[in-house]
Structure 1
Amino acid sequence: MNKCTRILNCSVSNMVGVKLLSAKANIFSPEALLTEDTIDRTIKKIQHMKVAQRPLTEENSKRAAVLIPLCLVKDELSLLYTLRNADLKRHKGQVSFPGGMADPTDDSLRTTALRETEEEIGVCRKDVTVWGEGNIYVGKEFSVLPVVGYLGKIEVEKMKVNPDEVAEVFTVPLKHFVDPANCKHTQFRFKGSCYVIPAYVNAKHRIWGITALLTHIFLTAFIPDYYRHKVYLIKPIKAAL
């Protein structure tokens, strides 16, 4: 192979690599994903998705709602998360979606999610394009309704964050979640039942708990062709007799 042929082959290889990277980036573009059909399909899948849950008891029957906020950050579709203030009484220092407990003045749990989002990170409810709601999921201390909404283009550093509730706002691009190296799981037991939920690493903060579960449900419904993370139950090893 002469020098000219080697140079030509390298150039072709580089061009192919650039095109593949460009194609992968376009997969998660607003033009590709924010279509009416995709939005309708996503909400329907979320509403029909079934997951193993804790039993509903008096301790966890209180209602709460969160917003699963899809947004555009530097031309990348991303999910927005908050890091809760370390001085809070409940779930301090944990990663969560914007949201909180229902207030008697809320006319619906959707209102709860939008009100709490405005209080926590300063996004007015009129600026949230609500796609729909999922099912209520039973947690350890409350039952939560996920509301899916699109915030459009945002700049995190310009958000009016309530420091009494939120220590930090951060976003994670969708492409981060399709890398298997960033997707893990945790397993725990509760009153004789075993539960496995996803966990996400290598972002600014570790995402786990019910926030990770809701992330998994949303991604499974929204980008099923690219998000392939499966959560399997690992049975405990029995001691030999």
Structure 2
Amino acid sequence: MASWLPLVQPFTNRTLRELRLALQKSFPIHVPANYTHRQHAAVVIPFCNVNDVPGILLEVRGKTLRHHSGEVSFPGGRVDETDQTIVDAAIREAEEELGIVARQIEILGPIGPAEMNLRGDMRVWPFVAFLHKDGSLRQYLDSEPLPSLDLTNLQQKTSQQEVDQIFHLTLSVIATPSRMQSRKFRDGMPYWAIDVEDLVTNSQDTTAIVGPVVDEVGAGGNGRLEVWGLTGWYLNILMRALGVYSQ
């Protein structure tokens, strides 16, 4: 299946509308309204423009965190008792980690199925979104590029405890074969991990990672920083649905 998604042209309102329709068609998923908050988590897969180039915003998690420190991940975390819905948790976590406001986060739809974490005690719900530069209500023409994020400014707003740094993974890089490392997800399903070692400034020292990695947010293997594990798996099922990766 050929991708209809432009890999180098910036996101527009038309692109976002087409993304919504594609997600609804590929992922007719029911997100529960009634849930036990301790058994669920939510992440945002945040599309965005940077320098008029389309891509996805990713985090390198804070190096002092107890779990998955120094790994690549999407913004997100556990649903708590203040969240009215699971998608509210995804938005709240993105606000807290990235230092943005809810008006900047346009949820386009869920993907899935939602997977359990490795401990088997929490289901992780992924939501695709677009991050707007600001929360203004200015209207843009269908074909007009949506404003780009300023990564330098955004980096200054991120939670210093939770986020070591942020980076923009362009769609063209995601689709670059030389970046792809063959991996298998849990039950043996194949997927592509994406090597991002050279895209992350002062990336973590991963030289100790030489064998199988227990954590699976995005540590990678063979001493490289990768979009890997659950983060990589969700990225893959999304790219397959959009025709960027072959089925």
- Relative to the length of structure 2, the TM-score reads 0.69
Say what the alpha-carbon RMSD is for the aligned residues.
2.4
1:206 alignment partner, one of 226, 233, 240: 226
Contact persistence 2:55–2:169 (CA under 8 A): yes
Indicate how the Cα distance of structure 1 residues 228 and 109 shifts in structure 2: closer, same or farther if over 3 A, else same.
same
Question: Contact 1:180/1:229 (CA < 8 Å) preserved in 2?
Answer: no
1:143 maps to 123
Q: Which runs of 5+ in 2 are unaligned?
A: 30-37, 133-147, 201-224
**1:108-133, Cα deviation, whole Å (9 max, x unpaired):** 11011100000001121111111111
Percentage of matched positions with identical amino acids:
26
- Pick the structure with greater CA Rg: 1
Rate the CA distance shift 1:28–1:139 in 2: closer, same or farther, 3 A: farther
Relative contact order higher in (CA < 8 Å, ≥ 6 apart): 2
Does residue 126 in structure 1 map to residue 97 in structure 2?
A: no
* Residue segments in structure 1 that go unaligned for 5+ positions in a row: 1-23, 49-60, 231-241
The TM-score, its normalising length taken from structure 1, stands at 0.71
Contact 1:113 1:147 in 2 (8 A): yes
Once the two structures are superposed, residues 70-114 of structure 1 have per-residue CA deviations (whole angstroms, 9 ceiling, x without a partner) of 000000111010111111111111110000011011111101110
The alpha-carbon deviation at position 178 of structure 1 amounts to 1.4
Distance in 1 (CA, whole Å) between partners of 2:85 and 2:50 is 30
Counterpart in 2 of 1:228? 245
Correspondence 1:71 to 2:48:
yes
Residue 150 of structure 2 is aligned with which of 151, 155, 165?
155
Matched residue pairs, number? 189
* Matched-pair contact (CA < 8 Å) for 1:43–1:221: no
CA–CA distance in structure 2, aligned partners of residues 156 and 27 of structure 1: 18
Per-residue deviation, 1:195: 4.3
Equivalent residues in 2 for 1:50-129, closer than 5 Å = 62-129=39-106
Is the partner of 2:227 in helix, strand or coil? coil
**Residues 15-65 of structure 1: CA distance to partner in whole angstroms, max 9, x if unpaired?**
xxxxxxxxx9775432496152343113431347xxxxxxxxxxxx82100
In 1: Cα distance, 2:7 partner to 2:164 partner: 33
Structure 1 or 2: more helix by fraction: 1
Q: Does 1:181 align with 2:159?
A: no
Q: Is the 8 A contact 1:183 1:229 kept in 2?
A: no
